[in-house]
Homo-oligomer: A and B are copies of this chain.
């Protein structure tokens, strides 16, 4: 197996910079869209053969150095007892949002083997056909909590923050429940054969550093502590680049970066106790090949001082992205980083 990705996670020297792309199995790929024509999004997540198929697609097409399990961060939330739907226009909808003690009590604990057996099954299928590491993942408790409280996506997180500020005990209870569920969920993925875990904290950037420290960080720390002795763990706290010293306190092996910070500045803030992942603006892939190569070169240079670097976009690849440009980016990372080292 090509272990470059795992070596970079641990800060070991590699021959070139490994690269994968968030949402690399997704709508920008015609091969993915073909599978999706047959089934809806949730059915795809829950059908191991199809989930495995789309997980493997980008590995073959893009020649990336890691695969990530095709799934959705709300899968365990649904399994905890919330009704989930995906709307083309509005995105995810969770019915009966958690706003009080009573709705919190309706939630079940997560038993991954019984509740989401398709996740382990998909992992086992992928593992048989893969010669690069497989990344398992979960949403972070804070991000999952906001979906559950808001009942879907949100602009200003008003309901979540109302709970935090008006009834912090209830918010912390929900976070405790979610942390327990995430640890079980991630452990089931480890047992099934993933090689690393990424924790997506997509909405934690809605918090001030003070609130991050109170309402999000302690729970991520528990998850990291539970995983870290077994496998490398990546913490991606989107839009939190002005509080990286706090993000680092998660204890994760790798810190994911969006594109709002110069990577060299992130390295300064994070030190050499962790590796970094990122951080090209996904929209650069709408540019010319020359621009893509220039930006790859810029990011690689900016990350030179890091303990280890896994090249990635600073957010998920956009559905409108030309596949050829994604391929060009991966090629440029491999080519330019081999010269550098």
Task: Indicate if the CB atoms of A260 and B158 lie closer than 8 Å.
Answer: no
Are A286 and B208 touching (Cβ within 8 A)? no
Give the docked Cα–Cα distance between A103 and B4 (Å). Answer: 49
A28 within 8 A of B: no
Interface string of A232-260 (1 = CB under 8 A from B): 00000001111100000000000000011
User: Does residue A261 face the partner (Cβ distance < 8 Å to B)?
Assistant: yes
* Residue from B210, B242, B282 within 8 A of A298 (CB atoms): B210
Is the CB–CB distance between B286 and A265 below 8 Å?
Answer: no
Q: Does A86 contact B (CB under 8 A)?
A: no
What CA separation (Å) do A210 and B280 show in the bound complex? Answer: 11
Q: Please give, as numbers and ranges, the residues of chain B lying within 8 Å of A209 by CB-CB distance.
A: 260-262, 265
Answer whether residue A226 sits at the interface, using C-beta atoms and an 8 A cutoff. Answer: no
Q: Who on chain B is nearest to A281 by CB?
A: B208
* A287 in the interface (beta carbon within 8 A): yes
Q: Can you offer 18 A-B residue contacts whose CB atoms are under 8 A?
A: A156-B318, A158-B283, A158-B286, A158-B318, A158-B320, A161-B283, A165-B291, A166-B286, A208-B260, A208-B314, A209-B265, A210-B298, A239-B239, A239-B260, A240-B260, A242-B261, A242-B265, A243-B265
Near B by CB (< 8 A), chain A positions 295-315 give: 295, 298, 314
* Cβ of A205 under 8 Å from chain B: yes
| Copies of this chain in its oligomeric complex | 2
Please report which residues of chain A, range 252-284, place their CB below 8 angstroms from some CB of chain B when the two chains form the complex.
259-262, 265-266, 281-284
Distance of A289 from chain B, by nearest CB (Å)? 11
Q: Is the interface of A mostly helix, strand, loop or mixed?
A: helix
Interface centre among A156, A260, A298, A314 (most CB of B within 10 A): A260
Query: CA separation between A242 and B247, bound complex, in Å?
Result: 13
Closest B residue by C-beta to A159 = B286
**Does B211 lie within 8 Å of A281, measured CB to CB?**
yes
CA A283 to CA B250, docked complex, whole Å: 25
A162 close to chain B: CB less than 8 A: yes
CB A317 to nearest CB in B, in angstroms, measures 11
Question: Which residue of B157, B165, B260, B286 is within 8 Å of A243 (Cβ)?
Answer: B260
Check: A288 CB closer than 8 A to any chain B CB. yes
CB distance from A104 to the nearest CB of B (A): 19
Closest 10 CB pairs of A and B: A165-B287, A241-B242, A161-B283, A242-B261, A208-B259, A209-B262, A242-B242, A162-B286, A208-B281, A242-B260
**Least Cβ–Cβ distance between A297 and chain B, in angstroms:** 12
* Residues of chain B lying within 8 A (CB to CB) of residue A207: 260, 281
How far does the alpha carbon of A284 sit from the alpha carbon of B164 in the complex, in Å? 10
What CA separation (Å) do A288 and B162 show in the bound complex?
A: 10
Residues in B with CB closer than 8 Å to A205 are 260
Please give me the residue from chain B that is nearest to A266 by CB atom.
Answer: B242
